[in-house]
A and B are shown apart, each in its own frame.
Chain A
């Protein structure tokens, strides 16, 4: 059995850890709130762009853009969004597992791995899978300018023909306690997929005649890169929001565990202390008896 002093030391250290966990939980909660707000805004913007795209396509179906170009040859790229720091439970593990199974599946075509966040980058570097590009130290901050810069770079990579397709692997934020890893085919943009999903809308309310100025093609050219960037930004925001949510939950569990541990250790300490007191008392009484 541990001595009283050892127990006290352990109690103190657990108390300190618990305080840190609680602080981290609170920080994550506030970051989550901010990220969630941004995410909802981004979803609204993307919703508007989605609707607009469908209306343009419904009126003039035969539009073309370099971002939609399907190439049979060439490597594909997988963009993996992980966090920069740990202490967020199984968040990174789940993403990395999905990425690994994804990479293993298409061995025929050399997939370029592009990582956002240190965790994924380090994991694959250690396994000898160097990433073609990596964006580190974003620290879960939902900075739209950075997201746009990265999105633009990836779009250029695609337009220059260095990759034939780009897929995004990120964690989709469902609710503040649920997030799921998901793979999204980003480039080339599949217009059929975007219109088919809401096909009934296209034939229904959006079938009315729109005027396009200067022309449908010009609007399409302007719209599509915006749509692509908004999609990318949304994916990044989803990832960051999920990260904060995961960290918050992990830290909450850690705080709860620390509390439980504290409770059992306190009980143990009290028992030992009581035993010591009892022993001392009986010694004193025994001595007093002997001196009589």
Chain B
């Protein structure tokens, strides 16, 4: 399947990152909002937070972004923000399952 959403992040210095995504989750001022293909044209203000998007391959990308503006129209998501930074690594949840197994009392 073709990548359905084009994602562009701009800062005052110019283009900070450009990617193709299946879904995008952005920190809107009123709360996080998710976008898929054929989202209605929307403009919103952004609060500082975590920008997450999923590529067609299934990998999830995360970045921390500052306050700014987001526009989505014609499957093009454009974000203008004050700053972009690498996000902390996602918490590793694999250990929790092993904990459950040992909880059953088996040796």
B43 adjacent to A211 (CB under 8 Å): yes
A219 adjacent to B41 (CB under 8 Å): no
Which of A45-53, A260-268, A270-278 is the contact stretch? A45-53
Considering the chains assembled together, what is the distance between the CA atoms of A40 and B13 in angstroms?
10
A52 adjacent to B10 (CB under 8 Å): no
A209 proximity list for chain B (CB < 8 A): 40-41
**Nearest-neighbor residue (CB-CB) of A213 within chain B:** B44
**Which of A44, A52, A148, A233 touches B15 (beta carbons < 8 Å)?**
A44
Interface size class of A (residues with CB under 8 A): 20 to 34
Q: A48-B80, A222-B69 are known contacts. Are A211 and B41 too (CB-CB below 8 A)?
A: yes
**Which of A49, A55, A208, A213 touches B30 (beta carbons < 8 Å)?**
A213
Main secondary structure of the interface of A (DSSP, over half): helix
Q: How far is the CB of B16 from chain A (nearest CB, A)?
A: 10
A45 adjacent to B14 (CB under 8 Å): yes
B13 adjacent to A144 (CB under 8 Å): yes
| Cβ of B12 under 8 Å from chain A | yes
B12 adjacent to A52 (CB under 8 Å): no
| Cβ of B71 under 8 Å from chain A | yes
A226 adjacent to B44 (CB under 8 Å): no
B13 proximity list for chain A (CB < 8 A): 38, 41-42, 144
| Cβ of A228 under 8 Å from chain B | no
| Cβ of A210 under 8 Å from chain B | yes
Considering the chains assembled together, what is the distance between the CA atoms of A218 and B45 in angstroms?
8
A148 adjacent to B71 (CB under 8 Å): no
A210 adjacent to B14 (CB under 8 Å): no
Q: A45-B80, A219-B43 are known contacts. Are A148 and B29 too (CB-CB below 8 A)?
A: no
A148 adjacent to B69 (CB under 8 Å): no
**Which of A38, A42, A223, A233 touches B69 (beta carbons < 8 Å)?**
A223
Q: A213-B30, A222-B69 are known contacts. Are A45 and B41 too (CB-CB below 8 A)?
A: no
Which residues of A (210-245) have their CB < 8 Å from a CB of B?
210-214, 218-219, 222-223, 226, 229-230, 233
Interface size class of B (residues with CB under 8 A): 20 to 34
| Cβ of B89 under 8 Å from chain A | no
Considering the chains assembled together, what is the distance between the CA atoms of A173 and B11 in angstroms?
22
| Cβ of A154 under 8 Å from chain B | no
Considering the chains assembled together, what is the distance between the CA atoms of A49 and B70 in angstroms?
11
Considering the chains assembled together, what is the distance between the CA atoms of A213 and B33 in angstroms?
11
| Cβ of B75 under 8 Å from chain A | no
**Nearest-neighbor residue (CB-CB) of A41 within chain B:** B14
B12 adjacent to A144 (CB under 8 Å): yes
A210 adjacent to B43 (CB under 8 Å): yes
| Cβ of A21 under 8 Å from chain B | no
**Which of B12, B33, B42 touches A230 (beta carbons < 8 Å)?**
B12
| Cβ of A56 under 8 Å from chain B | yes
**Nearest-neighbor residue (CB-CB) of B31 within chain A:** A213
**Nearest-neighbor residue (CB-CB) of B28 within chain A:** A213
Most buried by B among A45, A223, A230: A45
Considering the chains assembled together, what is the distance between the CA atoms of A38 and B11 in angstroms?
12
Considering the chains assembled together, what is the distance between the CA atoms of A210 and B40 in angstroms?
8
Considering the chains assembled together, what is the distance between the CA atoms of A139 and B29 in angstroms?
39
Q: Which residues from chain A sit less than 8 Å from chain B, CB to CB?
A: 38, 40-42, 44-45, 48-49, 52, 55-56, 144, 148, 208-214, 218-219, 222-223, 226, 229-230, 233
Could you give 11 example pairs across A and B, Cβ below 8 Å?
A40-B14, A41-B14, A48-B10, A48-B78, A48-B80, A55-B43, A211-B43, A212-B44, A213-B42, A219-B44, A219-B45
